[in-house]
Amino acid sequence: MKDSLGQCPLVSIIMPVYNVGRYLEDSLKSVEKQTYANIQLIIVNDGSTDSSGNIIKRFIKSTKLTNLIYIEQENAGLSEARNTAIKRVDGKYTYFFDSDDILNAKAIKKCVDFMEKENIDLLMFCAEAFIENEHSYQSKYVFRPKQLKSEAVYSKQEYIFKMKNERFSAVWLYLYRTEIIKRNSLCFYPDIYFEDALFTPIAYYYMNTVGFLSDVFVYHRINPQSITMRDDKDEYKVSSYLTVLKELDLFVKMNVADKWLINYYSKQQMFTVREIRNFSILDKVHIRTLCKNYNIGFDVIYELKSRIKKIVRKV
């Protein structure tokens, strides 16, 4: 769909890269093959030490994409790589793309057409998770909410009510109206894992309308070698989840007054608490110390505090 000047709106695709040389070419080609033409691709090489940098440079020389920004920086983590890219975004819409995933060729066009038609702030769609074996791809599951209807548009309250018992925080499940991100200075919390679990619920707060398409537009690679899959990072994972709890609690205290919205955020906190519960490798004293260091208050919903105490006692 074209605007009043007869132009298709620009879509900025943010692609942080860190040591994904094995998969990077497929991901880049999936962007290049988009049937939607007006794309700005922003690649941030976050201090890769493998072949990623060379793959990107070869791609830049050969690609048909004309609006491409390439940034190299010292390793600062996924959040900071995305934040670096946000500063360079020119598009009306923004998509956060993982550099080992694959994007359906029609994804951007279908999403933009729907967002332009319905004039919405945020669009959610589906993704299929897969594991790449030696000779084949094995589908694991599909990220698809149970309560949403395809090609439907919801007010923020309607959307949150339907999604209150589910968690779809991964940013690669959404196309964002850039104005919302920039006007509210939305960014990713640095130096933690699971940054999407904080960014997405906060982004919801600033949206007025949300749409949903049931199409599978993203093929999300489950990489057994990724940091979030490694057991030796459990302590850092727990610390990250506690940071998410702390920052979300702070955001609610400073910004949220409506009871229905407070209840939604308490549900999101509960999802995070349940994730912490999975790290049984940590002993009771360790988790108790982490909770104290992160000053988790949970004043929004008292039972949340009680639940984490029960979890701590069980570990």
- CATH classification of the domain holding 19: 3.90.550.10
Radius of gyration of the chain (CA): 20
**Structural domain for 35, as ranges:** 11-225
With a CB cutoff of 8 Å and minimum separation 6, the contacts of 235 are: 282, 286
Does residue 5 belong to any structural domain of this protein?
no
Query: Cβ distance 304 to 272 under 8 Å?
Result: no
Distance CA(241)–CA(244), nearest Å, equals: 5
Q: Give the percent of the chain with pLDDT over 90.
A: 69
Distance CA(73)–CA(76), nearest Å, equals: 8
Statement to judge: residues 211 and 241 lie in one domain: no
Does residue 1 belong to any structural domain of this protein?
no
Q: Residue 315 has what pLDDT? A: 45
Residues in the chain: 315
Statement to judge: residues 218 and 255 lie in one domain: no
pLDDT (tens digit, 9 = 90+) per residue, 14-48?
999 999 999 999 999 999 999 999 999 999 999 99
Distance CA(65)–CA(252), nearest Å, equals: 41
Distance CA(230)–CA(247), nearest Å, equals: 25
Statement to judge: residues 200 and 130 lie in one domain: yes
Statement to judge: residues 168 and 290 lie in one domain: no
Statement to judge: residues 70 and 193 lie in one domain: yes
Does residue 76 belong to any structural domain of this protein?
yes
Statement to judge: residues 272 and 164 lie in one domain: no
Q: Residue 298 has what pLDDT? A: 43
With a CB cutoff of 8 Å and minimum separation 6, the contacts of 131 are: 137, 138, 140, 221, 222, 224
Angle of CA points 88, 115, 130, to nearest 5°: 75
pLDDT (tens digit, 9 = 90+) per residue, 55-76?
999 999 999 999 999 999 999 9
pLDDT (tens digit, 9 = 90+) per residue, 228-270?
555 556 778 888 888 898 899 899 999 999 999 999 998 888 8
pLDDT (tens digit, 9 = 90+) per residue, 153-192?
999 999 999 998 899 999 999 999 999 999 999 999 999 9
Beta pairing partners, 132? 137
Q: Quote the number of domains for the chain.
A: 2
